Chain A
Amino acid sequence: MAGWTTHTGQAIALPLENVDTDQLIPARFMSIPRSEGYGGHLLHDMRRNADGELDTAFPLNRWPEASILIARRNFGSGSSREAAVYALVDAGYRAVIAPSFGDIFAGNAVNNGLLPAQVSESEVERLISSVPTDLSVDLEACTVRIGGADVPFSLADTARTKLMNGWDDIDLTRAEAEHIKGYRDALMQARPWVWA
Chain B
Amino acid sequence: MTTPQTLLDKLWTRHEIRRRADGASLLWVDRHLVHEGSHHGFAKIAARGLPVAEPDLTFAVVDHYAPVRDRSHIADPDIARMIRTLEENAKTHDVRAFGLHDARQGIVHVIGPEQGLTLPGLLVTCGDSHTSTHGALGALAFGIGATEVAHVLATQTVWQTKPRAMRITVDGSLMPGVTAKDIALNWIAKLGTDGARGHAVEYAGSTVRDLSVEARLTLCNLSIEGGARFGMVAPDTKVLEYVQGRPFAPKGQAWDRAIADWADLQTDDGASFDREAQFDASEIAPTVTWGTSPEQALPIDTTLPDPARLPEARADAARAALDYMGLTAGRPLEGTPVDQVFLGSCTNARIEDLRLAAAVLAGRKAKVPGQVSPGSALVRKQAEEEGLAEIFEQAGLDWSEAGCSLCVGMNGETVAPGKRCASSTNRNFRGRQGPGARTHLMSPAMVAAAAVTGTLTDARPLLEGRL
What is the interface of chain A, defined by CB distance below 8 A to chain B?
A: 16-18, 20, 22-23, 26-28, 30-31, 33-34, 45-46, 73-74, 77-83, 85, 100, 102-104, 107-108, 111-112, 156-158, 161, 169-170, 172-174, 176, 179-180, 183-184, 187, 190-196
Contact = CB atoms under 8 A, between A and B. Distances in A.
Given A73-B194, A100-B197, A111-B148, A176 B22 contact: no
B227 interface: yes
B420 interface: no
Which 6 A-B pairs have CB atoms at the shortest separation, nearest pair first? A193-B250, A108-B145, A111-B147, A82-B146, A82-B145, A80-B143
A172 B293 CA distance: 38
A180 B17 CA distance: 7
B240 interface: no
B207 to A, nearest CB: 26
B78 interface: yes
B143 A31 contact: no
B40 interface: yes
Interface hub of A17, A82, A196 (most chain B Cβ within 10 A): A196
A108 B151 contact: no
B56 A158 contact: no
B279 interface: no
Contact of B26 (A16, A82, A83, A173): A173
Of the four ranges (under 10, 10 to 19, 20 to 34, 35 or more), the interface on chain B belongs to: 35 or more
A194 B30 contact: yes
Given A18-B317, A82-B146, 7 more contacts: A34-B40, A78-B429, A80-B145, A156-B23, A161-B22, A176-B26, A194-B122
Contacts of A80: 127-129, 131, 143-145
Given A111-B148, A180-B17, A22 B432 contact: yes
A18 B193 contact: yes
Nearest to A107: B145
A144 B382 CA distance: 58
A17 B198 CA distance: 17
22 contacts: A31-B410, A34-B40, A74-B194, A78-B224, A79-B129, A80-B131, A102-B227, A103-B163, A104-B145, A107-B144, A107-B148, A111-B145, A111-B148, A157-B23, A170-B48, A170-B155, A176-B26, A180-B17, A184-B28, A193-B119, A194-B122, A196-B117
A30 B410 contact: yes
Contact of A176 (B18, B116, B154, B255): B18
A74 B197 contact: yes
Contact of B37 (A81, A180, A193): A81
B30 A179 contact: no
B408 interface: yes
A33 B43 contact: yes
A78 B26 contact: no
Contacts of A31: 39, 65, 78-79, 81-82, 410
Interface in B139-172: 143-148, 150-151, 154-157, 159, 161, 163
Contacts, number: 175
Contacts of A193: 119, 250, 254-255, 257-258
Interface of B: 17-18, 20, 22-24, 26, 28, 30, 37, 39-40, 43, 48, 50, 56-57, 65, 78-79, 81-82, 116-117, 119, 121-122, 127-129, 131, 143-148, 150-151, 154-157, 159, 161, 163, 192-194, 197-198, 224, 227-229, 248-250, 254-255, 257-258, 261, 293, 295, 313, 317, 320, 408-410, 427, 429-432, 435
Contacts of A192: 254
Contact of B17 (A18, A26, A81, A179): A179
Nearest to B143: A80
A64 to B, nearest CB: 22
Contacts of B429: 20, 22-23, 78
B146 A156 contact: no
Contacts of B20: 158
Interface hub of A156, A157, A193 (most chain B Cβ within 10 A): A193
Given A27-B408, A82-B147, A194-B57, A158 B430 contact: no
Given A180-B157, A191-B261, A112 B430 contact: no
A181 to B, nearest CB: 10
A9 B194 CA distance: 29
Contacts of A33: 39, 43
Nearest to B65: A31
